[in-house]
Amino acid sequence: MNLLPMLAVRGQPFDSADYLFEVKWNGVRALARSQPPGGWDLWGRDLADYRSRYPELQVLAALPPGTILDGELVLLSHGVPDLNAILARHQLSNPLKIGHASRQQPVTYVVFDILAHQSRSLIGQPLQARRAWLQDLLTRWGEPRVQFSEGIVGSGRSFFEQAVRQGQEGVMAKHLASRYLPGQRSSCWLKIKPARRLPCVIIGWDRGVCGLRGLLVAAPWNGPLRYVANVRTGFTDQDRRRLPELLVRARRRPVVCCPHRGLWVEPDLLCQVNYLEWTRAGRLRGASFRGLLAAS
């Protein structure tokens, strides 16, 4: 039976000699296993089989039988993962297109944990020991498509600042004594991302059970004002009750083109939106409500 990946909770930058800090690789989470004779498995968080999507990772069959790895599938651009590129690759279903992509744009499997070695389970071992086994295994193997996720111990704040300057999504902080907890979200693993904020104009909203379900917002992107996000998270219960009372100046059509249905309003209210990054299509990824802004 395939294992589910261990998951992290959100955290803030910090320093600690008890924690490993590594890049939070912005790609597709995947676990891999080698099994005799010459077989291999690759699956995701929902246990979906990824083997047909990434035939170039058949190299995993060369690992010692019974090895289970945890890592991230990435497409690197100047050392930084290109999330849009890997998502486009991940959605391919045509075997001919997949084969072409695997030759022209092969993925790198960045591995940060080992859960079994030669059929011996390691999930009860501390992270520090698992990482030592993993690094030794990958160094001796020397396969360029499978890379070890380097990290440091102690200086989490400076590591985070350096990663963000390089354009990385953020960092992971993992307690060195932590066991691997399949399918569980644990505070032993922390995901630390930069807080990016953007003032946005509210152009519409939609109803929910408690009042407001979400906001449709716009902001300048490459010049003119345009729709950028459907914000569904970050609201308190009070926000969901109060905001509909403020969004009263209705209009028949949105002030800018919007791909969603909504209750359209005059662009009178500004709000602060937290987000992870801009997509190539000019949308905010991971948008969440931060609060209203006073009009200048």
Residue partners of 178: CB distance under 8 A and separation at least 6: 126, 127, 186, 188, 189
Neighbours of 237 (CB within 10 A): 9
* Residue listed under structure tokens 């590594």: 22
More confident residue, 296 or 253: 253
DSSP helix/strand/coil, 21: strand
d(CA 254, CA 261): 9
Residue 96, pLDDT score: 95
Candidates 131, 104, 103; CA nearest to 117 is: 131
pLDDT mean over 69-81: 91
Contact indicator for 204, 262 with CB cutoff of 8 Å: yes
d(CA 151, CA 21): 5
**Tokens standing for residue 290:** 């931060």
Phi, psi values for residue 263, rounded to 5°:
-95, 110
pTM of the model: 0.73
Q: What is the pLDDT of residues 212-251, one digit of tens each?
A: 999 999 998 778 899 999 999 888 888 999 999 999 889 9
d(CA 39, CA 49): 14
Residue 35, pLDDT score: 86
Residue partners of 41: CB distance under 8 A and separation at least 6: 2, 32, 33, 35, 49, 51
Residue 197, pLDDT score: 87
Contact indicator for 271, 284 with CB cutoff of 8 Å: no
Delineate the domains of the chain, giving CATH numbers in brackets. Answer: 7-192 (3.30.470.30), 196-293 (2.40.50.140)
Mean pLDDT taken over the chain: 92
d(CA 68, CA 201): 48
* Residue listed under structure tokens 């948008």: 287
Residue 296 has pLDDT above 60, yes or no: no
Neighbours of 59 (CB within 10 A): 15
Candidates 168, 160, 180, 151; CA nearest to 12 is: 160
Cis peptide before 194 (omega within 30 of 0): no
One-letter identity of residue 273: V
